[in-house]
Amino acid sequence: MIPTDEERSQLQEFQQAADDVVLGSAEQFLAMLCSIPDLTARLRLWAFKLDYETTESVSTVIRSLTNDHPFLQFATAHDDSLYDFSQEFLFSVAHMSNW
């Protein structure tokens, strides 16, 4: 989705060589992407934000389940490894349900 340096230079050369030629829709889209400053960084930040929001919502559900479910309260009080396993399991199930 991110234009390569070669694609950028080819598009720029074409636009300089042919001022009166109208670009096709794919080339117009590519030109628009090339005009966005720091596109790679922005897309990475956007992906991180989406993933963070999903993770945060899943964590809220897990915290709620952990606090309200008697088995998880027992596991928390008696065995850290069982508690860790149950949280990992719940997180995996919740994460899979979001896909």
Domain boundaries, the chain: 1-36, 38-99
Report pLDDT digits (tens) over 15-29: 888 877 888 898 889
pLDDT in tens, 53-71: 777 777 777 777 666 666 5
pLDDT for residue 55: 76
Q: Rounded to two decimals, what is the model's pTM?
A: 0.48
How would you write the chain as a 3-class SS string? CCCCHHHHHHHHHHHHHCCCCCCCHHHHHHHHHHHCCCHHHHHHHHHHHHHHHHHHHHHHHHHHHHHHCHHHHHHHHHCHHHHHHHHHHHHHHHHHHHC
